Amino acid sequence: MRLIALLFYAVGIFVVLAVANTPLSSDEDYAELNRAGLNAVAIVAGLFALGSLAIPWERIGRNAFAVMPTAGSVFLGLCVYYSGGWDSFAYLPFVLVSVFYGLYFSARVAALGMVGAVLAGASPQLYEPNVSELMELLVVPVPLYLVLAFVSNYVVRQIALRERQIERLRQQTEMDGLTGVHNRRYFDAKLTEELERARRSREGFSLIFVDLDDFKQINDAYGHAFGDEVLRSVAQTLYSSARQVDTVARFGGDEFVVLMPGTRIPGARAFFERMQEEIIRRSMEEWGFEIRMSAGAAVWNDGSDTATLVGGADAAMYEAKRLGKDRFFTG
């Protein structure tokens, strides 16, 4: 939106400079122009727009950005003053202010901003009182500004609603509803994508299968609701321990998979040990007993396909179980 604001300022400044410095119409039409005043307003507006680039708007808050269209209304009010009052050409750029309020701000902030824009447009009433001109402003341009602001705000809200619907649909198709990490469907697609990438770049990756030890006993002793809580806690620990480029997914039941691009066995083992320590700590703090797990890993090589990698990691995980659980194993 900062770029859109700068674009609107650029368009407005161009219009002002063009009218003030080029013979766009007869001299009679420009008889009341104060060219020096218009140029000064254009220069100040340009400096203001450029200076806004240095302001960290994201830290201040969304509504703080209202200073941009508000200042635009003030600049246009000055342009009206320097270009003939009620007969000024500067009423046209108020369209940009209206659209910007509608695009970026809530209905309440946009309404307040439009009140300011209308007052700026009615400013000739202070130095050139004219009831008929004021009524014409209120009957023709002002409704147009309000409609543009409303339509812009409506379009933006509809787009945001559609994006939220798309995001909900994506979560339903890609995310596991219980744990909040990715599901098996997303993992299968991601593994195929990573396999193709590895074949092109020759950069390997690791696939880790993680399974909770004695999870059935937890369910039998504490109930399935508690078991679900454990699964959510483990999933979130896996996710927080992984890197941004890694993919964490629930494979099924109490089994999770972690896809780690650019990682060999030592890195996969270090990840498991770090994650295991965190899960033990959290389980002791939250429930008073340790949750432990076993893991197996497979590493991509030239002959690997999805079935080979999944089968290898799964077999390694079961071998870790056979060797006594609570350990990491790679075939």
Whether 177 is covered by a domain: the verdict is no
Does any domain span residue 217? Answer: yes
Which tens digit of pLDDT belongs to each residue from 61-75? 778 889 999 999 999
- Name, in order, each residue with C-beta under 8 angstroms of 68's C-beta and a sequence gap of 6 or more: 5, 9, 52, 100
Both 158 and 204 in a single domain? no
CATH number, domain with residue 237: 3.30.70.270
Q: With 80 as the cut, is the pLDDT of residue 178 above it?
A: yes
Q: Among 119, 145, 170, which residue terminates a domain?
A: 170
Q: How far apart are CA 77 and CA 121, in angstroms?
A: 6
Q: Same structural domain for residues 144 and 48? A: yes
Q: Is the confidence at residue 211, as pLDDT, over 90? A: yes
Token representation of residue 330: 């790679």
Q: Is the pLDDT of residue 331 over 80?
A: no
- 302 catalytic? Reply is no
Average pLDDT over every residue of 277-296? 91
Tokens (6 digits) for 218: 């937890």
8 A C-beta contact, residue 152 and residue 96: no
End position of a domain, from candidates 141, 170, 199: 170
Q: What is the DSSP string of 185-249?
A: HHHHHHHHHHHHHHHHH---EEEEEEEETTHHHHHHHH-HHHHHHHHHHHHHHHHHHS-TT-EEE
Is residue 72 domain-resident?
yes
Q: How many domains does the chain have?
A: 2
Q: Can you say how many angstroms the Cα of residue 247 is from the centroid of all Cα atoms in its chain?
A: 20
Across 33-44, average pLDDT: 93
Looking at the fold, whether 317 and 225 belong to one and the same domain comes out as yes
Residue 175 domain flag:
no
**How would DSSP label each residue in 127-167?**
HS--HHHHHHHHHTHHHHHHHHHHHHHHHHHHHHHHHHHHH
Mean pLDDT rounded to a whole number for the chain: 90
- Do 104 and 13 have their domain in common? yes
Mean pLDDT, range 214-234, rounded to an integer: 92
Cα separation, 180 vs 174, whole angstroms: 10
Assess whether pLDDT exceeds 60 at residue 277.
Answer: yes
Looking at the structure, do residues 93 and 232 belong to the same domain, yes or no? Answer: no
Tokens of 15: 């219009």
Residue 31 has pLDDT above 70, yes or no: no
What average pLDDT score do residues 114-131 get? Answer: 94
Mean pLDDT value of segment 302-314: 87
97 and 197 housed in the same domain = no
In a domain, 49, yes or no: yes
In whole angstroms, give the CA distance from residue 129 to residue 6. 33
Residue 178 lies inside a defined structural domain of this protein: no
pLDDT at 10: 93
Residues 10 and 156 in one domain: yes
pLDDT of residue 303: 72
Cβ neighbour number for residue 198 with a 10 Å cutoff: 18
Q: So what's the pLDDT on residue 42?
A: 95
Domain that holds residue 153: 2-170
Whether residue 176 lies inside any domain: the answer is no
207 with 147, same domain: the answer is no
- Assess whether 147 and 228 both reside in one domain: no
Indicate if 101 and 195 belong to the same structural domain. no
Identify whether 83 is part of a domain.
Answer: yes
pLDDT in tens, 52-61: 988 887 788 7
Residues 226 and 323 in one domain: yes
Catalytic, out of 254, 302, 314, 326: 254
Element (H, E) at 57: helix 57-60
Domain boundary among 122, 148, 170: 170
* Whether residue 304 sits in one domain with residue 326: yes
